[in-house]
Amino acid sequence: MTHRLKEGCKGGLYALIVFLLHLLARVLFRLRVTGRDMLNRDTGYIVVARHRSFWDIPLLAVAFGIRNRIHFIARKGLLKNPVFNPLIKLYATAIDRDHFTRADFRRVLEAVRRERLIGIFPEGTTRESADAKAGAIYFARISGKPLLPVNIRANGPYPPRYPFGFPRVTISIGRPVSAAELEEETEATSRAERTQRMSQRLMELVDAA
């Protein structure tokens, strides 16, 4: 099977999955999306959002639509789930977030350079107390891709309370920002501190989107 045919099959399956998820999101979450005009079809982005629920990934996929396929950076532990495993192998790069190695770094960098849209959750977990890591900043610097802050706002319990406690969700896509722009407005005494403050500022833009 040629590469073009593989990509065609992969894109067709993604379109079908997003179509079905779209129906589900409209019914369960009454999903509303704003800011799609921020996307340039000829530009690649690193999509950044807070991570609060396993629903974040399917809702983001629906929000960006069939023509804007997002390749996510995911925890390798999800590969153990028989439902998620094939989807992660097709549409994500799995890494060890707790023991991030050079091999993980190379895999992510390859994905960032290969895929038009990369989805990263800087917190790396759905725990509310987790601090945002600076990975998105590093990869934006290296690749030159702008960062795209996205705010997932839920009016109601999120994660949902099953079976009937589903919130109304609005996904807002903010203005793209480059790593250079974040660096210009950040003061710090060391590069490591500057990068961390840039990451904090990025999350502020996510919340303000």
189-199 average pLDDT score? 88
pLDDT digits (tens, 9 = 90+) for 35-61: 999 999 999 999 999 999 999 999 999
Q: Report which secondary-structure segment, H or E, holds 153.
A: strand 147-155
Instruction: Count the domains in the chain.
Output: 1
pLDDT-above-70 percentage for the chain: 100
Instruction: Report whether 154 contacts 168 (CB < 8 A).
Output: yes
Beta sheet of 45-48, edge-to-edge order:
32-34, 168-173, 147-155, 45-48, 117-120, 70-75, 92-95
Domain of residue 8, CATH code: 3.40.1130.10
Nearest to 44 by CA among 130, 182, 156, 142: 142
Q: Tokens for 146?
A: 């702008």
124-133 average pLDDT score? 83
pLDDT digits (tens, 9 = 90+) for 174-183: 999 999 999 9
Q: Tokens for 36?
A: 């799609």
pLDDT at 3 over 80: no
Instruction: Report whether 74 contacts 146 (CB < 8 A).
Output: no
Q: Which domain holds residue 39?
A: 3-208
Per DSSP, 134 falls in state S
